[in-house]
Amino acid sequence: MPKILYKIKRQLRTKYNYRSNIMKRILLFVAVFASYAGIAQDLESKIPNSAEVVVSINGNRLMELVSISEFDNYNFAKKIFGKLSKKADSTFTISSIEDLGFDINSKAFYFYKKTDSINYHNFLIKLSDKNKFESLMSPRKKESIVSEGGIQMISDNYTTALWDNNLLLFSTNQTEYEFFKKHQERFESKAEYEGMSYYKVKKLLASHWTKNFAFKTFKGQEKTSVLNNPSYKASQDKNAIASVWVRNYSQLLGTYMQQMSRLINLEESLSPESSLNGFESGVANLYFDQESIRLTTKMEVNSNLKTVFRKLYKSKLDKNFYNYFNQNDALAYMSVSMDTKALLEEYPTLISSMYGGMMPGYAEEMDLMGELLSLALDEEAIGEFITGDMLLVLNDFGEKEVTYTTYKYDEDFEKKEVTKTKKEMVPDFMLMIGSKKEKLLNKLARLGTKHKVFENTSGYYKLDISKKDFPVDLYAAVKNNILFLTTSKENLSNVVNNRFVNNIGKHKKLLHGSNSVLYLNGEKLISKVPASELSKKEGRYFDYLRENFKDAYFKSSKIKGNKVCSELKINTSNAHGNTLKMLFNFIELMNGKRR
């Protein structure tokens, strides 16, 4: 009996210890995760809620894909380390990314802050070793370091750098021309600036304000941070390598247009306040996965544009198009599906919303132009004539001998026309355009034949186009509410005579669920490039792409809620473990090294 009790106690103790170890591991994981999340949020909390743009680089995700030792071993990385070592303290040699003193497992941030006087460009980086970071500086640069309350600082007319044991902040300034021009006399009249030029006063003020802004940001003294912004918080994705968040795309573009207007002397016609009205916050996320590189975007629009876009993109690509698509023959394709009738009806609203802010001095004229155009057009009739569905398929391209006209001068210096031949890269394509007016199109074709614009050839038409204008023959036909325009007589004959072999394959989902698509078959396209046209170096690059690049597409999806979404995706062969390594190995190849 005592032996049995002993065994029971030992089993209970073992189970308790096992559970205790599990709990310890869970608590350790939670502590590490909380610590990492706290570090990232500590940096983000210093970004003011008024920031116009925030860019983040996810160091932790980068290190998951490429280890420190792998990165350090790249030739291009060694070159960077060598250049930094030459500029650094003579006693300090950089041989690893860890020697930079940055916490490479933390997030790093860039943010843009706009004011009426100065625009600030800022970088926030977590430090792992303050001494290593300072060793990156030359002895002369170190002499300019000043200390204020435990914070180290280097500052000049344009940039202020602040750091302590844990954090580094760079702030650079970009002055607003209109503000300083408006207040020039007021600044120059101040006693402390007496005898100084306007340019020097401007630099002093910009430097002083940048320093104040940097200290305020570094100490987290803004009233609220960007973490209080629901749009920003919703945009974050821990799996993204890099993310870009824009508070208001229209306002950001307006700032850019204001700067451009000064360069092209259009300050009176281009508004500094806004440009493409209706576009609000936006986000882009970049991913490096095992077999693909992805860039996703989401753009919020206001209620007016939301209504317009829902009308424009309410339909899907006509399934009749699928009958004339064969994935085995497609090098690339582009599709668009929209409602032409809705586009014409909403045209005045689009013009006013999207471009009215760009040229406010002509807002009434643009409104009137849109309304007159709407009156002049029969939206419903045009919408039936051209539905808004379009599919362009590139089947092939290659060298072809084409004729062209040139001129030469005889002995009497008289110009004579001469026909010559040359080799050009020409495409083989098929363009399909949706139309519900098949009878009308056939009437137009017959009329074109009568006037010798077209040549009727067994159910389809050959267009009479000068080889000088277009180096290949073009053929047209109408079938199943689709207007066909192609360079391939054989393909069109198959379409007209119901012999076309279709194979939509994996592309059905992509075409059916998107407003527009651009697709490239990388393997087939690269194989079409003549090796004889490439240098030895270019040949190596193309060989690498041929081995690793499979295909790519860009698609824009139907509006979801008030968001316009798009995705760019590049699919690879997964020969390198993940796509970030594939990219770094390509950079190595460009530097003369092959992996």
**Lowest mean pLDDT across 254-258, 424-428, 505-509:** 254-258
Q: What angle do CA 544, 80, 94 make, to 5 degrees?
A: 130
52 and 108 share a domain? yes
Phi and psi of 315, rounded to 5°? -100, 170
Contact partners, residue 137, CB within 8 Å, separation at least 6? 88, 89, 145
Would you list the DSSP string of 436-448? S-HHHHHHHHHHH
CA atoms within 13 A on the CB side of 248: 16
Cα gap 466→132, rounded to integer Å: 69
End-of-domain residue from the set 13, 28, 44 = 44
Average pLDDT, stretch 259-271?
57
> What is the bridge-based pairing of β-strands 118-126 and 415-434?
unpaired
- Distance between start and end Cα atoms, the chain: 69
pLDDT reported for residue 578: 95
What average pLDDT does this structure show over 177-186? 88
Q: Does position 295 have pLDDT exceeding 70, yes or no?
A: yes
Read off the pLDDT of each residue in 63-67 and give the average, rounded to a whole number. Answer: 95
- Asked if 548 and 485 sit in the same domain, the reply is no
Q: pLDDT of 528-587, one tens digit each?
A: 888 888 888 888 999 999 999 999 999 998 888 899 999 999 999 988 999 999 999 999
Q: Which of 230, 247, 264 is the last residue of a domain?
A: 247
- Mark whether 328 and 430 lie in a shared domain: no
Per-residue pLDDT, 32: 37
Rounded Cα distance between 281 and 298, Å, is 8
Is the pLDDT at 28 greater than 60? The verdict is no
Secondary element (H or E) of residue 258: helix 249-263
pLDDT tens column, 338-383: 888 888 777 766 666 655 555 555 555 556 565 555 555 556 776 7
Q: What is the pLDDT of residues 371-386, one digit of tens each?
A: 555 555 556 776 777 8
User: What is the tens place of the pLDDT at every residue in 433-449?
Assistant: 998 877 777 777 777 77
Examine the domain organization and report whether 456 and 475 are in the same domain.
yes
Structural domain contains residue 256: no
Q: Final residue of a domain: which of 197, 213, 247?
A: 247
Q: Which amino acid is at 474?
A: L
In a domain, 281, yes or no: no
The DSSP call for residue 453 is: S
User: Residue 397 is encoded by which pair of tokens?
Assistant: 């391209």
Q: Return the structure tokens found at 15.
A: 């189970």
Q: Are 331 and 397 in contact (CB under 8 A)?
A: yes
Summarize the confidence of residues 233-262 as an average pLDDT: 84
For residue 462, the cross-strand partners are 455, 475
Question: Which residues 6+ apart lie within 8 Å of 413 measured at CB?
Answer: none
Task: Decide if 451 is inside a domain.
Answer: yes
In a domain, 257, yes or no: no
384-408 pLDDT, tens per residue? Answer: 778 889 999 999 987 777 777 778 8
Q: Is position 335 within any domain?
A: yes
Contact 486, 430 (CB under 8 A): yes
**282 assigned to some structural domain:** no
Q: How many other CB atoms are found less than 10 A from the CB of residue 42?
A: 15
CA pair distance 563, 526, nearest whole angstrom = 35
Say which residues have a Cβ less than 8 Å from residue 35's Cβ, sequence separation at least 6. none
Q: Is 148 within a domain?
A: yes
At residue 317, does pLDDT exceed 80? yes
3-state DSSP helix/strand/coil % of the chain, to nearest 5: 45, 30, 30
Distance CA 139, CA 66 (A): 33
513: three-class secondary structure by DSSP: coil
- Pick the closest to residue 77 from 51, 47, 104, 58 (CA basis): 104
Claim to verify: residue 539 and residue 489 sit in the same structural domain: no
The CA distances from residue 487 to 78, 461, 519, in Å, are: 51, 11, 20
Are residues 494 and 323 in contact, defined by beta-carbon separation less than 8 angstroms?
Answer: no
* Residue 438 belongs to some domain of the structure: yes
Query: Global pTM?
Result: 0.83
Is the same domain home to 207 and 343?
Answer: no
Assess whether 411 and 513 both reside in one domain.
no
The answer on 310 and 220 residing in a single domain is: no
pLDDT at position 216:
94
Indicate if 202 and 119 belong to the same structural domain: yes
Q: What angle do CA 582, 294, 529 make, to 5 degrees?
A: 60
C-alpha to C-alpha distance for 178 and 184, rounded to whole angstroms: 10
Q: Print the domain residue range for 327.
A: 289-378+505-580
Distances (CA, A) of 351 to 104, 318, 356, 367, 369: 47, 28, 7, 7, 9
DSSP-derived pairing of the beta strands 151-155 and 146-148 = antiparallel
Place of tokens 């350090």: 72
Q: How many domains does the chain have?
A: 4
Looking at the fold, whether 54 and 71 belong to one and the same domain comes out as yes
Residue 56 and residue 32 share a domain? no
Same domain, 158 and 68: yes
